[in-house]
Structure 1
Amino acid sequence: MTIRLALPVCLALAAPAQAFDMDAMTPEERAAFQAEVRTYLLENPEVIRDAIGVLQLRERQAEILRDQQLARANADALFNDAHSFVGGNPDGDITIVEFMDYRCGYCKRAFPEVEALLGEDTNIRFVVKELPILGEPSLLASRYAVATKIVAGDAAYKDIHDTLMEFDGEITPAALTRLSEAFVLDHAAITAAMDSDEVTDVLVQNRALADQLQITGTPAFVVGDQMVRGFIPADQMLLIVADLRGQSE
């Protein structure tokens, strides 16, 4: 393409929208201009790639801003509710919230990463939000875990949570009975609590919060005012934590 042809195209592409009016062109001028644009793009296809890259970057920046606004608007429900299990360092300077499902493969993959993270950084507060979205066995497991917390306390919940996260069998009432026996828990009391309004309210509130945050899958993490939708290894989570700490200095 000659410089004579490329120059009008470049000027037109660079000009403000109001300075360039296609409607003011004659049909012949419009056809010639469109032909030059087509030729320019065919000879310089990297322009399309660059434009797509800019668009994707803008979309990602908009998503990050939206997630930050959602996290800030729902901060109290995320970090300070009265029903969620709090692990790690309860007085930590950074809080990580995880929405999880016991039958979610990526949640199971994330579990050792989260444990490694909490072991490496002892100043992280970790909040668990039960979000059973993968069918009745998921709901059964979450009801059992939440009921265990209510009946037997946080330490028992932690044992049950960890075991269910590593469990690769079918979650059934019989399996949960064996789990209670293994940890010497009052299974009758836990079973009675599973269908209580208190347990239902916990799960309903968690689901409503997930909807507010536009969370549609598990795992999903909220780290400060940042959201991570999906699995993330411990080293990447540590980078996010370090960045948040740096912003607060």
Structure 2
Amino acid sequence: MKKLLISTAMLVVPFTAIADELSEDRVKQLVLEAIRENPGIVFEAARLFEEQQQANQAQAAAQVLADERDALERDPNAPVLGNPEGDVTVVEFFDYNCPYCRQVKPHMEALLAADPNVRVVYREWPILGEGSVFAARAALASRKQGKYVAFHWAMMDLNGRAEEASVIRVAESIGLNIAQLRRDMDAPEIDEHIQTSMRLSRAIGFSGTPSFVIGDSLAPGLIEADQMIAMVNQTRAAN
């Protein structure tokens, strides 16, 4: 609140006065006087405050991308689809119980079909309950049987919530050995993958699924194939 008050005060009080470290009570008094004379100034102050907040968030996210590029794009403990040697990486944070993640499936398939030189890194980010956690652990465990891709696409086609029973049905339908799958779900690398997803998503500032990192761009929310392709091409051109 004090930051917003100061933003408002700076619109109506000379900069030298602000530099004198006015008390909060004095700032409030000046702001109230300004509002009485020009009520619209509150909206202008709020706009300036919001712009500054967005700029700060963008700067912080850019720093995270620079610092965490290898963890995002080259983590050997993260599944990769598409061309493993591709020149542009798309990172998707997702949850099997997220309806928007399921809606992204055909767009991701279209991207992979349209661009043979793109690689997709999947970050399992189970944030929608115990069923999501079970599904993520099962998906990551399916790598030991070489069936992550088949399991992932089948889970994205699942009708209803991902819970233990439905996840096991999907696993059986693609020929996974269920006893081995359950053993592999407790592997330490699965804990590490999920913990890393949690850490990276918080650091970047993502608040929900799906969320994408494409080059230096962030795309929280559902994006369609055309937008993905455009962002990939933009990243390729920049590189």
* TM-score (norm: length of structure 2): 0.78
Shift of 1:229: 2.1
For residues 37-52 of structure 1, the aligned pairs below 5 Å read: 38-39=36-37, 41=38, 45=40, 52=46
Counterparts in 2 of 1:174 and 1:92: CA distance versus 1, 3 Å: same
Counterparts in 2 of 1:60 and 1:187: CA distance versus 1, 3 Å: same
Indicate the SS of the match to 1:218: coil
Does the CA contact (< 8 Å) of 1:71 and 1:226 recur in 2? Answer: no
Equivalence for 1:209: 200
Gaps in structure 1 of 5+ consecutive residues: 1-11, 23-30
Indicate the SS of the match to 1:215: coil
Does the CA contact (< 8 Å) of 1:68 and 1:227 recur in 2? Answer: no
* TM-score (norm: length of structure 1): 0.75
Greater gyration radius: 1
Residues of 1 paired with 2:183 and 2:148: CA distance? 16
Counterparts in 2 of 1:35 and 1:76: CA distance versus 1, 3 Å: closer
For residues 161-180 of structure 1, the aligned pairs below 5 Å read: 161-180=152-171
Equivalence for 2:117: 123
Equivalence for 1:18: 16
Counterparts in 2 of 1:55 and 1:236: CA distance versus 1, 3 Å: farther
For residues 77-88 of structure 1, the aligned pairs below 5 Å read: 77-88=71-82
**From 214, 222, 229, the counterpart of 1:231:** 222
For residues 65-76 of structure 1, the aligned pairs below 5 Å read: 65-76=59-70
Does the CA contact (< 8 Å) of 1:180 and 1:187 recur in 2? Answer: yes
Residues of 1 paired with 2:18 and 2:66: CA distance? 42
Gaps in structure 2 of 5+ consecutive residues: 1-9, 21-28
Equivalence for 2:53: 59
| Higher alpha-carbon deviation: 12-21 or 140-149 | 12-21
Structure 1 residue ranges (4+ consecutive) displaced by more than 6 angstroms after TM superposition? 19-22, 34-37
Residues of 1 paired with 2:33 and 2:133: CA distance? 60
For residues 75-154 of structure 1, the aligned pairs below 5 Å read: 75-150=69-144, 152-153=145-146
